Amino acid sequence: MIEVLHFEWNRAMRSKRIWFVLGAGMLCSVLQAVHYEMGGIVKNFYENSDYPIVCWLSYLGRDIQLFYRSLYYLIFPIMAALPFAASYYEDKQSGYQKVLFMKVKRNAYAAAKYLVAFVTGGLVTVLPLMFSLFLHAGFVPGYPPSELSLQAVPLDGQPYCNIFYEHPFFYAVIFWGIDFLVGGCIAGIALCFSLIAKMKYSIYVFGFVFCILERTILYQFDCVNWAFSNIAEMTDLLLNGWEIFMKLIVTVIFSFALFVGVLTRKDVL
Amino acid sequence: MELVIKDYTKIIRKVTVLDQINLTLTGGKIYGLRGKNGSGKTMLMRAITGLIRPTAGYVAIDGKKIGKDIDFPQSVGALIENPSFIQEYSAMDNLKVLANLSGGIPEEDIRSILERVGLNAQESKPFGRFSLGMKQKLGIAAAVMGKPQLIILDEPINALDEYTVERIKELLLELRNEDRIILVACHDREELDYLSDVIIHIQEGRIVNDR
């Protein structure tokens, strides 16, 4: 299991796609920071707001002044699926799967595939956010956040609200952890879809389509808070920490069992 | 080593692709598989390597049933259909990763097998830029690397020049003498007759005779 995990991880790291996606995320962070500084948003806050702008609320993960965050959370399901979710499909199409299935057990192969897709999906979702906060900390003050701020602060009833005001960095770490799991879940769901996919590109966009459909359906039943896109953004979210983790853990268990279960029983033609 | 195929039947989408196959293969022999396109040669190879699961019957290696006791034969090397490897890796790197997955084969042995099939172990050219013949040579090298107990080759001499064909034949005969089971499918009747100790004729998923 360790050998095949190591092998799949190396394949992911040696592929150009993961670096392309990370580069695109980092570029988004840099553009947002440049736009913030050049657009005079920081200066405007000092002059017109009761409370100065703080980096905890201005970085890519929390900002509501510019469009970059909305764009980021719109495309993150595609970013999460790009690095490795299509790798099973590629192995199947090229015939490499036949070579591997005579070297490693199918369940070890499937588990390693899922794990690497999950971790790479989570990493490409979170690393640009982390980079953005550290970038903003370079030119935006790191005061403790205040409810008086004109930025998007978490309100009472929203998850980890108290932690945000007392330990904003710790809140950011929890937020990244949740986004890591959401990115991983989307990659895992896209990997499951690759079991029946007929075209490689459909795997990349599947997470995106899934998130839109899920949100639309949950909205009809008045439970839009449970949508992946809402959990990832964590703004206007009315779930508690346990509910968030329950949704994510159930998704991980279900998608993992589905992928491993189907793959181990499937004929390789 | 003994490979037993007992009443093996495989039905895919209501089509019987393998029908009541009964065979016993023992070490130290080359088995030649002959049959028309679509007769079930490749499907039989897939069955032996555990790539497909039977509708009825079983394949057992030294008494262990594939799909029940083991996922695939413990010591197998196969080239089934087109050789496929990681496009960005060189021949040496591709074989090294496969060797690591199957428990480790000394680098010197990998180097030696590459030279024997006519590939340069030092060459850094990625697999994606290999010619058809080079891909085939690497496929054969991967199959025989580490001298597995069971070697399965589907059309191994396709796209190879005469000189390489001779080297491959020499290699297979050498492996046979080391008590390996070798199963080869080939359209070239003369080559197959020359190589094989036993010819298995397959037609519409059934063994029609073996001598």
pLDDT (0 to 100) of residue A143: 83
Q: Which of A102, A262, A263 to mutate to test the interface with B (most CBs of B within 10 A)?
A: A102
B70/A contact by beta carbon, under 8 A: no
Hunting for tokens 């991980």 — which residue is that? A252
Interface test with A, best of B84, B98, B145, B154 (most A CBs within 10 A): B84
A11–B101 C-beta distance less than 8 A: no
Write the secondary structure of B29-84 as one string of H (helix), E (strand) and C (coil). EEEEEECCCCCCHHHHHHHHHCCCCCCEEEEEECCEEECCCECCCCCEEEECCCCC
A69-78 confidence digits (pLDDT tens): 889 999 999 9
Q: Which residue of B has its CA nearest to A92?
A: B84
What residues of B are in contact with residue A4 (Cβ under 8 Å)?
A: 101
User: Is the residue at B171 inside a domain?
Assistant: yes
From the centroid of its chain, how far is CA A9? 18
Cβ–Cβ contact B183 with A under 8 A: no
- Contact of B68 with chain A, judged by CB distance below 8 Å, is answered with no
Beta bridge partners of B198: B31
Residue B181 lies in a domain: yes
Instruction: Calculate the average pLDDT of chain B.
Output: 89
Confirm whether B192 is domain-assigned: yes
Give the residue, B174 or A37, on which the prediction is more confident: B174
> Which residues in chain A are closer than 8 Å to B49, comparing Cβ atoms?
98, 101-102
Residue of A nearest to B79 (CA): A99
- Interface mutation vs chain A, best among B71, B93, B105, most A CBs within 10 Å: B71
Rounded to 10°, the helix A2-14/B91-101 angle is 150
The pLDDT of residue B134 is 92
User: Looking at the domain assignment, is residue B60 inside a domain?
Assistant: no
Structural domains of chain A, count: 1
Contacts of B202 (CB under 8 A, 6+ apart): B33, B34, B35, B39, B40, B41, B44, B208
Between chains, do A7 and B77 touch, taking CB under 8 Å as contact?
no
Tell me, yes or no, if B46 comes closer than 8 A to chain A by beta carbon.
yes
Whether residue B133 is contained in a domain is answered as yes
User: Which residue, B62, B76, B113, is CA-closest to B91?
Assistant: B113
Long-range contacts of A209-212 (CB under 8 A, 24+ apart): A210/A77, A210/A186, A211/A77, A211/A186
Terminal-to-terminal C-alpha distance of chain A:
24
Looking at CA atoms only, how far is residue B103 from chain A in angstroms? 9
Q: Is residue B153 part of a domain?
A: yes
Is B140 in a helix, a strand, or coil? helix
Q: pLDDT grade, residue A173 (50/70/90)?
A: very high
Q: What confidence score (pLDDT) does residue A225 get?
A: 86
Question: pLDDT value at position A166?
Answer: 85
Q: Which domain holds residue B181?
A: 29-42+74-210
**Number of CB pairs, chain A paired with chain B, less than 8 A apart:** 62
- Of the candidates A3, A95, A103, the beta carbon closest to that of B82 is on A95
pLDDT over 90 at A157, yes or no: no
| Per-chain mean pLDDT for chain A | 89
Nearest CB neighbour to B101, from listed A4, A98, A269: A4
Closest-CA distance of chain B to residue A189, Å: 25
Domain that holds residue A60: 2-265
Inspect the interface and report whether the beta carbons of A96 and B46 lie closer than 8 Å: no
Q: What angle do CA A97, A98, A104 make, to 5 degrees?
A: 75
- In chain B, how many domains are there? 1
**CB-CB under 8 Å, B76 with A102:** yes
Closest to B51 (Cβ–Cβ): which among A4, A11, A268? A268
| Chain A residues closer than 8 Å to B140 by CB | none
**SS3 state of residue B28:** coil
Interchain CB distance below 8 Å, B71 and A269? no
For A78, A96, A176, B154, the CA distances from A128, given in Å and listed in that order, are 15, 33, 10, 48
B13 lies in some domain: no
pLDDT tier at A59 (50, 70, 90 boundaries)?
confident
CATH of the domain at B203: 3.40.50.300
- Interface residue B207 vs chain A (CB under 8 A): no
Determine what percent of chain A is predicted with pLDDT higher than 70.
96
At B5-36, the pLDDT tens digits run: 999 999 999 999 999 999 999 988 999 999 88
Cβ neighbours of B78 in A, within 8 Å: 98, 102
Q: How confident is the model over A39-62, as a mean pLDDT? A: 77
Per cent of chain A over pLDDT 90 is: 57
Residue A23 scores a pLDDT above 70? yes
Q: Do B84 and A94 touch (CB under 8 A)?
A: yes
| B89 three-state secondary structure | coil
The DSSP bridge partners found for residue B58 are B6
Asked if B77 reaches chain A (Cβ–Cβ under 8 Å), the answer is yes
Where chain B has pLDDT below 50, the residues are none
What's the pLDDT tens digit per position in A94-149?
999 999 998 899 999 999 999 999 999 999 999 999 999 999 888 888 888 877 76
A→B contacts (Cβ < 8 Å), by residue, are 3-4, 7, 10-11, 14, 94-96, 98-106, 265, 267-269
Cα of A75 to nearest chain B Cα, Å: 28
Is residue B72 within 8 angstroms of chain A, CB to CB? Answer: yes
Do the Cβ atoms of A99 and B53 come within 8 Å? no
Comparing CB atoms, the residue among A7, A104, A267 nearest residue B52 is: A267
Return the pLDDT at B161.
86
